[in-house]
Structure 1
C-alpha cells in the first residue's frame, strides 16, 4: 500500500470518527439546542427559506392544471375551510395572530404575508405538501382537487380581500339543530356550487359517509377536517338533521342533459347502468338499510359537485364504502364530455324523482 493511499485512508477514518463523535454529542448529549427560544443565525434562516422556495417552485403543478379560480362559490368554500382549519395559526385579513402563535419557531406568517409572491400553482403545492420542520401540515387527504377552493381564497387575499368581505364569507348560519349543525350549514345550505345537496340523500348514506370521512376511507381534505371537528357521537344526529332539511329546487334544463340521459341508461358487461343504482325511478337510491349506505340518489344534485366526484372516481382518488371499486370501474372510461353530460342530466332532474 502506497504512502498516499495510507494518508487518504487515515484522513477518511479521522473524519468518520469526528462525525461519529459529533453525532453522539448531538443525539445523546443534548449539545444541539432544540428550544424554540433559540433563534438560528439570519444567514441560516435565509438559506432555509431559499431551499423552501426552490422546493415549492420545482414541485408546483404546471399552470395548465390551474382551474378557473373565479368559479362561483369557490372563494367562499375555500374561506370557510381556511377559517376552520388554518385561521388559528395564520389569522385572516383584519385580524392579528395571538402572542402564542407569534412565539412559535418559526412563527407562522400572517396570511397576508404568507400568500405574497406565490402563483396559484405554487400556493396549491404549499397547501398540498405542507412545510417540513415547521408547524405547517400537509393536506389531510390523497385527493388534491379540494385544495383549489383554498387557493381561490388565498388568491383573493393576495388581491386585497377586506375584513368586511372576510366576515361575510365565513359567517356561521343561525340554525336550530344538533351540535355542529351551524358549522355544516355554512357550506351545505344549498347555496354553494361544488358542495352536495345533503337533503336529497338517505340518512343511512349520510351517517356512513361522515364516518368514512372521519376514518379516512373516503377522501376529501375539507370533509376530513369537518368530520373530525365534530364529536364522533354527534355524527348520527347530524346525519338525521341533514337528511330532513328541505330539498333543493330543480336546477332546470342543461345543454347536455339528453346525452347524459342516454349515458345514464347504458350499462356494460362490467358495470350496471347509472340508473340501476342511482335512479331516477325504481332505483337503489330509494332503498333502505345497507343499500342506502352505498347508492345515493343523484337527481337534483349540484352539477359542479357531480362533475368533481366523477372525475375523482375516474382518477381513483375518492374512496368510500365496500362498493367503491364498482364506481371506479364505472367511471374509468368516461371522458370529460361524458362526465359533463351525466352531471347535466342528473342536476336537471327534480330531487323527488330519486326518492
Structure 2
C-alpha cells in the first residue's frame, strides 16, 4: 500500500510539472482556428449541460410567460443578442461563425432547454464561450427574454420582424428616438404593461433615469444596454421629445393595463386589434398603416382588459394616502402624487402608470436591488415593509388614476 501511495505521489508531481511546462512555455495552442483536441468539446458541453441542470431555478419559480413579456424580450434580444445568435430570417456573419465555440442560431440554441434552465443561462452566462452574464443583479428581467426564447423556435422571419421592426417616427423626432420608441412607443405610452410610460414622467426625472442607467447606479440589464446604445450627446433631445409627449395628455385616463387608457370621461381608447404588436404589425409580418412622417405616431395599447378590483384599489388608496393605519408605510402621495402641491421633480409621477410595471419596481425597491439617484435610499426605506398584497394594491390604485402633469425642475 505504501508503494502505491508513493507511486501516486510521484505521478502527481510529474503531472504538475508537466502542466507547469505547458503553461509556462505556451505549448498548448489556444488558436480558435486550430480548434479543440479530440474529446474536449464533448467534455465542455456535457459539463455545461450538467452545471445548468444542477443550478437552474425550480419549475415553480417560473412566472407566467405572457406575449407582452415575449415582445419586450424580443426587443432586448434584437439589440443585445442577435449579432451572435441569428434570429429567424437572418444569418450569422462569417466573423460570428469563426468563433470557438461557434454561437448557434437562436432557434437551435434554445432547443432542449426548459424555461428555468434558459433563465439561468441568460442570467449567469457561460465561461470561455463569449456568452456574457446579465449586466445587472436583477433576476426578474431575464424572464421576458425567456418568454421570447420559448416562442422563437416556431417563428418565421416575418414573425420576428413584426416583433422587432422599428416604428416610423415623425420628422421632428431626434436621433435615437426610433430605438427608444421600439419599446416605449412613438408617443411614450408603450402599450405594454411591462414597459413604463415615459410621457408622464417629466424631463428632469427622465434625464436622471438615463444618467443613473448609464452610470451603473440604477439596476436594469435592459436599460443599461439601451442607455449605452444611444450617444450621450443625443440624450437631452430624447428626454425633451418624450417629455413633450405628455404635455397635452395630462388629463387622459389611467393605464392599469394597455387598452384602458381613456379620455377624462373614462372611455377607453381604441385598441390595437387582437394579434397586433405595439409597433402596428401583425404576427404574419403584414404591416398595418403607420403614421405619416409629420404625424405624432402612437403605439396603440394592446387588447382591453377588465379593470382592477375596486377593493384592491381602495386598499391602495388608503396606503398611498397613509390612512390605512399602517405606521410602517409612509404616505406615497407626498412625493409621487396625486397632489396639486407636489413640487419636486426628483420623484416620478405614478398616476396612470401601468400596474405590472409598478409592481415590479416596488418589489425590487423592497428587495434592495433597484438602485437609482441620490435619493434612492428614501424609497428603499419606504418600501421595506411592503408585502406583496400591499404592492399589488398600490399598483392598482396608481394605475387607475388619470396621469398628472409632472412638476417643473426646481
Given the two structures, how large is their TM-score scaled by the length of structure 2? 0.79
Q: Distance in 1 between matches of 2:233 and 2:95?
A: 31
2:334 corresponds to 1:276: yes
Q: CA deviation at 1:12?
A: 2.6
Q: Distance in 1 between matches of 2:57 and 2:390?
A: 25
2:127 corresponds to 1:132: yes
Measured against aligned partners, the alpha-carbon deviations of 1:58-89 in whole angstroms (never above 9, x if no partner) come to 1111111111102x511111000000000000
* Greater fraction helix: 1
Q: CA deviation at 1:22?
A: 2.7
Measured against aligned partners, the alpha-carbon deviations of 1:134-167 in whole angstroms (never above 9, x if no partner) come to 1100000000111111000000113x01211100
Q: Which runs of 4+ in 1 moved over 4 A?
A: 7-11, 267-271
Q: Which of the residues 35, 42, 67 maps onto 1:39?
A: 35
Q: Secondary structure at the match of 1:89?
A: coil
CA 4–307 in structure 1, closer or farther in 2 if over 3 Å, else same? closer
- Structure 2 match to 1:198: 198
Measured against aligned partners, the alpha-carbon deviations of 1:116-135 in whole angstroms (never above 9, x if no partner) come to 00111111001001011111
Q: Distance in 2 between matches of 1:184 and 1:347?
A: 22
2:130 corresponds to 1:103: no
Q: CA deviation at 1:215?
A: 1.6
Alignment of 1:147-226 (within 5 A): 147-158=142-153, 160-175=154-169, 176-189=172-185, 190=189, 191-226=191-226
CA contact (8 A) 2:354 2:399 kept: yes
Please tell me the root mean square deviation across aligned C-alpha atoms, in Å. 2.1
- Structure 1 match to 2:242: 242
Q: Which of the residues 257, 261, 281 maps onto 2:313?
A: 257
- Could you list the runs of 5+ residues in structure 2 that have no partner in the other structure? 261-306
CA contact (8 A) 1:171 1:186 kept: yes
- Structure 1 match to 2:391: 339
CA contact (8 A) 1:314 1:331 kept: yes
Q: CA deviation at 1:21?
A: 4.3
CA 283–270 in structure 1, closer or farther in 2 if over 3 Å, else same? farther
Q: CA deviation at 1:15?
A: 3.4
Q: Distance in 1 between matches of 2:231 and 2:203?
A: 18
Q: Distance in 2 between matches of 1:61 and 1:117?
A: 16
Measured against aligned partners, the alpha-carbon deviations of 1:317-339 in whole angstroms (never above 9, x if no partner) come to 11111222221222122111111
Q: CA deviation at 1:249?
A: 4.2
CA 269–283 in structure 1, closer or farther in 2 if over 3 Å, else same? farther
CA contact (8 A) 1:313 1:327 kept: yes
CA 333–32 in structure 1, closer or farther in 2 if over 3 Å, else same? same
Q: Distance in 2 between matches of 1:278 and 1:298?
A: 6
Q: Distance in 2 between matches of 1:16 and 1:326?
A: 58
2:83 corresponds to 1:88: yes
- Structure 2 match to 1:51: 47
Measured against aligned partners, the alpha-carbon deviations of 1:27-76 in whole angstroms (never above 9, x if no partner) come to 33110101011222452211211110011111111111111102x51111
CA contact (8 A) 1:281 1:354 kept: no
Q: Distance in 2 between matches of 1:354 and 1:259?
A: 25
Q: Distance in 1 between matches of 2:38 and 2:167?
A: 46
- Structure 2 match to 1:297: 349
Measured against aligned partners, the alpha-carbon deviations of 1:82-108 in whole angstroms (never above 9, x if no partner) come to 000000000101221111111111000
Q: Distance in 1 between matches of 2:2 and 2:48?
A: 42
Q: Distance in 2 between matches of 1:77 and 1:64?
A: 22
Q: Distance in 2 between matches of 1:167 and 1:34?
A: 38
Q: CA deviation at 1:272?
A: 3.3
Q: Secondary structure at the match of 1:91?
A: coil
Q: Secondary structure at the match of 1:55?
A: helix
2:366 corresponds to 1:314: yes
- Structure 1 match to 2:279: none
